[in-house]
Amino acid sequence: MPKTNANVQPQADALTVDDISFSYPNGHRVFSGFSLKAKPGEFVAILGPSGCGKTTLLNLLSGFQQPQRGQVSINQAPVHPERSELGYVFQSAQLFAWLSALENVRFGLRMCATTSEAQQRAQALQYLRLVGLEQSAQCLPHQLSGGMQQRVSLARTLALEPSVLLMDEPFAALDAISRNNMNEETLRIWAELGQTVLFITHDIDEAVFLADRVIVLNIAPGGIHSELKIDLPRPRSNLKTRRLQAFLDYRNELMERISHVMDVSAAPSTSTRQPELTA
């Protein structure tokens, strides 16, 4: 049996939500005593129906909103929107219509103003290449498909090289084929860059395909209903992974849990049951 080094410290969490409470000014309570953690390089999906507070949670994680109690930390320091370790990908691409794809990606680098214009362009082109859009660098947003626009948006965020990436249903507006392709591309990029990702989604299949761990939220202010570890082999592909019996088992398990959430009289589940897996 190999020896272990007693002096080795466990790796600190990349993202920590510690006992937060949050209500809107109208008195609507979204979170009360809510906590979660994400490890460095972990891909966590947040799943739940409308009204469970998913987008509010991302706003708190990004520092756009502040909890009334508790604290959100990135790499053990309090979060705020200007933290360089933090990247945010929105539901829509949010591109500047008058700027080329390259200049849209370069925009954040321009605002930081820490490198020369030539270096900024080189870095922007590098990340356009990473998302497969090097040949479209000079195109304006209206010349790009919806999926391509989301790739530009993703490249713009990645160009700032954050260690924690918050993604708020970024592919919800895409058709099914484009969405599946973007799921696969997201995993390819994540495997290459290794960020910690929190990915908000309504889509159960998307959550299973992407995540190491899926957190199911109750209707606000119910907090976490349950968590499910997704033990599917990586790298994952649309053709192979989505056909596995284990994928279907996880999907069915999460569908059952979401059905419990939709029943407002159901108590939060403490089940840690894993579905029986067969490949």
> Quick one: CA dihedral 187, 188, 193, 194, positive or negative?
positive
Question: For residue 149, is it within any domain?
Answer: yes
pLDDT at residue 8, as a whole number: 46
Q: Per-residue confidence of the chain (279 residues) as pLDDT tens digits?
A: 434 444 545 678 999 999 999 999 888 889 988 999 999 999 999 998 887 888 888 889 988 899 999 999 988 888 887 788 899 998 888 999 999 999 999 998 888 878 889 999 999 999 999 999 999 999 999 999 999 999 999 999 999 999 999 999 999 888 999 999 999 999 999 999 999 999 999 999 999 999 999 999 988 887 899 999 999 999 999 999 999 999 999 999 999 999 888 875 345 444 444 444 443
User: How many separate domains does the chain show?
Assistant: 1
Task: Let me know: does 224 contact 20? Beta carbons within 8 Å.
Answer: no
CA distances from 187 to 184, 191, 219 (A): 5, 6, 29
Residue of 65, 148, 161 whose CA lies nearest to 108: 161
Task: Let me know: does 213 contact 44? Beta carbons within 8 Å.
Answer: yes
Structure tokens at 90: 């929105």
What is the C-alpha separation between 138 and 125, in angstroms, rounded?
Answer: 10
- According to DSSP, the β-strands at 213-217 and 43-47 are parallel
Question: For residue 156, is it within any domain?
Answer: yes
pLDDT at residue 77, as a whole number: 87
Question: For residue 213, is it within any domain?
Answer: no
Q: Which domain, by its residues, includes 107? A: 94-161
Question: For residue 23, is it within any domain?
Answer: no
What is the C-alpha separation between 189 and 197, in angstroms, rounded?
Answer: 11
pLDDT at residue 240, as a whole number: 95
What is the C-alpha separation between 249 and 54, in angstroms, rounded?
Answer: 24
pLDDT at residue 90, as a whole number: 86
Question: For residue 154, is it within any domain?
Answer: yes
pLDDT at residue 193, as a whole number: 93
Contacts of the segment 233-239: beta carbons below 8 A, 24+ positions apart: 234/187, 234/191, 235/187, 235/188, 235/191, 236/184, 236/187, 236/209, 237/184, 238/180, 238/181, 238/183, 238/184, 238/209
Question: For residue 126, is it within any domain?
Answer: yes
Question: For residue 138, is it within any domain?
Answer: yes
What is the C-alpha separation between 265 and 105, in angstroms, rounded?
Answer: 47
Question: For residue 229, is it within any domain?
Answer: no
> Quick one: CA dihedral 174, 176, 182, 186, positive or negative?
positive
* Adjacent-strand bridge partners of 171: none
Distance of CA 22 to the CA centre of its chain: 21
Residue 23: Cβ within 10 Å count? 15
